A and B are shown apart, each in its own frame.
Chain A
Amino acid sequence: MSTAFTERLLQEHAALRVSLPDSIVPAAVRDASLKRAAETGLPGLRDEGWRYADLRPLLTATLGTAQAPSETDSARALLPSALEGIHRLVYVNGRFAPTLSAESGALSGLAVQGATLAATNCVAATADERFAWLNDAFAVDGAQYTVRGEQQLELLFVTVPTTSAGASHPRISLALEAGARLTLVERHVGGSEGGLVNVLVQCHLGRDATLEHTRLQDSTRGTIFLDSLLVRLDAGSHYDLTQLQLGAATARSALRIDLDGEAAHVDLRALSLTDARRVHDMTIQVTHRGRQTKSEQLLRAIAKDRSGTSFASRVDVASTAGGADSQQSLKGLLADAGAEVNLRPQLEISTDEVKASHGATTGALDDTMLFYLLSRGLDPQTARQLLEWAFLEDVISRIGRPELRRQVELATLDHLGNTAAEEALR
């Protein structure tokens, strides 16, 4: 299956090559990444890191970027309400859409730069994030900024069906200067049946920089969603990530986070909700290299019907990372007998003097809690919905901006069909 994919990849790229802008990805980088993507191909059945991903729909998907839609009304209809004080940039099918975006005046602290800076300072993709190379090869636009001072930014990626099939390759490259603070909201909405959305996020956090990042994948049901996130942290920097996987037919998200500088800190919370026959797969690789680095992970999955979710989270503590602190908490909730949740925490330590803990549990709702609520007169459905909410709210509750938190809560509850918790939160 891999050979056919590779042939098509090369064909599609050859047809588009002249139209791909150098300003987004230099031609030499595109060629190198294309070569890697072609050589690596698609993962095989025995590829441990991809065991739970469902990539079959990719065999028929178009890889090149779709045309921009002729009108913006269908995209406009998909925009969530704006967040006050946060500058919004909208991309439709991977292309910047100025008419849907806020005025550019407020972007003073964000310097648009040559595409290379964040990419060169960032972590290199590996075969686990191989679709990053696909993004390099095909991306036609991107949000590429150097950030200084305190900034707030929303990047909204909308996918709408077009007459000719095509993919979307959202691309974010950010370099936070020393001491910079960025609140970043990244959302992916819309989609098309069998259409590919292939995201690449590259961030470099300079000394003492802070990135508070909320990512929401709320694609339509037929979408193939691939995602690579590569982050490098310098000394004293802090990366706070809340990631929600709610939609798509199949979604694979690969995160690679390198804690290079002393006392760098990542706080990662992720939630995956699946129903029907959806498949979500998330791999996380955190590498501690600096002394006194810290990583905290809180991963939650709820699987319904015959859907499946997988979290594979690996933490490596290098010999240079004395005093490192790593915590992983993975929990899965099986709402139906046919559902599947796979949790794989892994920890590899190459130094003494490390504090590390990890735990993984999968099961149904807690019977004791359920009985407590029933004994207070609540009907079983309400009780279950409240407990379902209680199971996941840890992931959402730490989103700092109340307005954003509210939007995320509602999107989540909507996916769950959870009316009881919605009422409880009112």
Chain B
Amino acid sequence: MSEAMLSIRGLRARVGEREVLRGIDLDVPAGEVHAIMGPNGSGKSSLSNVLAGKPGYEVLGGSVSFKGQDLLALSPEVRAREGLFLGFQYPVEIPGVNNAYLLKAALNAARVHRGLGEVDAFEFLQLVKKNMQVMKMDEAFLSRGVNEGFSGGEKKRNEILQMLVLEPSLAVLDETDSGLDIDALKIVSAGIQTLRAPDRAIVLVTHYQRLLDHVAPDRVHVLARGRIVKSGGPELALELEKRGYDWLLEDAA
């Protein structure tokens, strides 16, 4: 096994008075896709948010190493520039800031951070157009406000488009499959597959098996009450689909 892209040890965090992560241990090696599953309220989104550095979450203990660095010591924007991408469960609408600009600013922030120059306008447009084709998105989206008036499915496709343009080392996709119809699910899955590479890792946070039919995970973890209660291969996801989460919750209690 190659060195872990992401290595989490004993991670505990709270929001307000509520402890939402109660000792998470997880290793995600480069080149692998891991699925994190679990019932509502198990801490899946909290884990995604803590990794991305969302304000409001207080880390109580434990450590997170990302490409050998102390992730928790970095600000959210530096985490992103280092190659961490969070795909939002509820992508935010920002009217007045256009999509193309955000994409370009995000790409340049990462490039400059890595000592590369800013991307030139032509090169940028080529890159974006290529990926928009993968995501079957109309180029008119580029000149619209970020997620402004997008349908649920369009927002999720836009998240994956951003991910494809930014080419992160680690993508944490928080319920990217929720609210997608069959066609959109296929497109989003194809987008995620495009990013699979030996030097990248992907964490799929999901409630259902159906995304995993299209993006086969290397490992599946079940999160319950803020802890990983079971890990296994792809077959674990199928078992969960059949049996639900209850049998694991009894163990976790």
Interface residues of A (CB under 8 A from B): 367-369, 371-380, 382-383, 386-387, 389-391, 393-394, 397, 424
Q: B96 contacts A373, CB within 8 Å?
A: no
Q: Is the CB of A373 within 8 A of B94?
A: yes
A371 and B96 contact, Cβ closer than 8 Å, known pairs A377-B109, A379-B109? no
Q: Is B105 an interface residue (CB 8 A)?
A: yes
A376 touches B88 (CB 8 A): no
Nearest-CB distance from A114 to chain B (Å)? 46
Q: Is the CB of B92 within 8 A of A378?
A: no
| Cβ contact within 8 Å between A389 and B80 | no
Rounded to whole angstroms, the CA-CA distance of A375 and B86 in the bound complex is 7
Chain A residue nearest in CB terms to B91 = A372
* Structural contact, A390 and B55, CB atoms closer than 8 A: no
B94 touches A369 (CB 8 A): yes
| Closest Cβ neighbor of A370 among chain B residues | B55
- Indicate if B70 sits at the interface (CB-CB under 8 A): no
**Chain A interface, DSSP helix/strand/loop, else mixed:** helix
Q: B198 contacts which chain A residues (CB < 8 A)?
A: none
Answer whether residue B59 sits at the interface, using C-beta atoms and an 8 A cutoff: no
Question: A424 to nearest B CB, angstroms?
Answer: 4
What residues of chain B have their CB less than 8 Å away from a CB belonging to chain A? 52-56, 75-77, 79-81, 86, 88, 91-92, 94-98, 101-102, 105-106, 109-110, 113, 145-146, 162, 166
Q: Which of A375, A379, A387, A424 contacts B52 (CB 8 A)?
A: A375
The 3 closest A-B pairs by CB, nearest first: A390-B96, A377-B109, A377-B80
The answer on a CB contact under 8 Å between B96 and A380 is no
Which among A375, A393, A394 is the interface contact of B76 at CB below 8 angstroms? A375
A-B contact pairs, 26 of them (CB 8 A): A367-B56, A368-B92, A372-B94, A373-B94, A373-B97, A374-B53, A374-B75, A374-B80, A375-B76, A375-B80, A376-B80, A377-B80, A377-B81, A377-B105, A377-B109, A378-B77, A378-B105, A378-B106, A378-B109, A379-B77, A382-B105, A386-B94, A390-B96, A390-B145, A393-B95, A424-B98
Partner of A371, one of B76, B95, B105: B76
Chain A contacts for B75, CB-based, 8 A: 374
Instruction: Note all chain A residues with C-beta closer than 8 A to B80.
Output: 374-377
| Chain B residue with Cβ nearest A379 | B77
**Smallest distance from the beta carbon of B182 to chain A beta carbons, Å?**
28
Which residues on B sit within 8 Å (CB–CB) of A391?
96
- Cβ contact within 8 Å between B94 and A380: no
A373→B81 CA distance, assembly (Å): 12
Given A367-B55, A382-B105, A393-B96, A374 contacting B91 (CB threshold 8 A): no
- Among B54, B96, B110, contact of A377 (Cβ-Cβ < 8 Å): B110
The contact of B54 among A369, A371, A376, A378, by CB within 8 Å, is A371
Taking the closest CB of chain A, its distance from the CB of B147, in whole angstroms, is: 9
List the B side residues contacting A393 at CB < 8 Å.
95-96
Chain A: CB-nearest residue to B100: A424
CB B11 to nearest CB in A, in angstroms, measures 19
Q: Do the beta carbons of B102 and A376 come within 8 Å of each other?
A: yes
Q: How far does the alpha carbon of A382 sit from the alpha carbon of B52 in the complex, in Å?
A: 19
Identify B97's interface contact among A367, A368, A379, A389, CB under 8 A: A389
- Measured between beta carbons, the chain A residues less than 8 angstroms from B79 are 375
Q: Which residues of B contact A383 (CB under 8 A)?
A: 77
* Distance (whole angstroms) from the CB of A249 to the closest CB of chain B: 29
A424 with B101, Cβ < 8 A, contacts A372-B91, A375-B52, A377-B106 known: yes
Cα separation A372 to B75 with both chains bound (whole Å)? 13
User: Do B92 and A372 have beta carbons less than 8 Å apart?
Assistant: yes
Tell me the bound Cα distance from A387 to B109 in angstroms.
Answer: 17
Q: How far is the CA of A424 from the CA of B96 in the complex (A)?
A: 10
Taken together as a complex, chains A and B put the C-alpha atoms of A382 and B95 apart, in Å, by: 16
Which residues of chain A come closer than 8 Å to B98, judged between CB atoms?
Answer: 424
A-B contacts besides A372-B94, A373-B94, A376-B109, 4 pairs, CB < 8 Å: A382-B105, A389-B97, A390-B94, A394-B96
A374 to B106, CA, bound (A): 9
Measured in the bound complex, the distance between the Cα atoms of B97 and A393 in whole Å is: 9
- Greatest chain B CB density within 10 A among A389, A394, A424 is at A424
Q: Which residues of A contact B95 (CB under 8 A)?
A: 390, 393-394
Among A378, A383, A394, the one with the most B-chain Cβ atoms within 10 Å of its Cβ is A378
Supposing A373-B102, A376-B102, A380-B77 touch, asked if A387 and B94 sit within 8 A by C-beta, the answer is yes
A380 to B101 alpha-carbon distance, docked (Å) = 16
* Cα distance, A386 to B55, chains bound together (Å): 19
Q: Are B76 and A374 in contact (CB under 8 A)?
A: yes
User: Please, which residue of chain A has its CB at the minimum distance from the CB of B148?
Assistant: A390
Query: Which one of A367, A377, A397, A424 contacts B77 once the chains associate, using CB atoms below 8 Å?
Result: A377
**Which one of B76, B81, B86, B106 has the greatest number of beta carbons of chain A within 10 Å?**
B76
The CA-CA distance from A359 to B98 in the complex, in Å, is 26
Contact B162 A376 (CB under 8 A): yes
> Which residue of A has the minimal Cβ distance to B96?
A390
List chain B residues, Cβ under 8 A from A377.
77, 80-81, 105-106, 109-110, 113, 166
Q: Smallest Cβ distance from B22 to chain A, in angstroms?
A: 24
User: With A371-B55, A377-B106, A379-B77 in contact, is A424–B92 under 8 Å at CB?
Assistant: no
Chain B positions within 8 Å of A379 at CB level: 77, 109
Query: CB-nearest residue of chain A relative to B78?
Result: A377
For residue A367, which residues in chain B have a CB less than 8 angstroms away from its CB? 55-56
Closest Cβ of chain A to B160, distance in Å, is: 14
- Nearest-neighbour CB distance to chain A for B166, whole angstroms, equals 8
Q: Tell me the complex Cα distance, A382–B145, Å.
A: 16
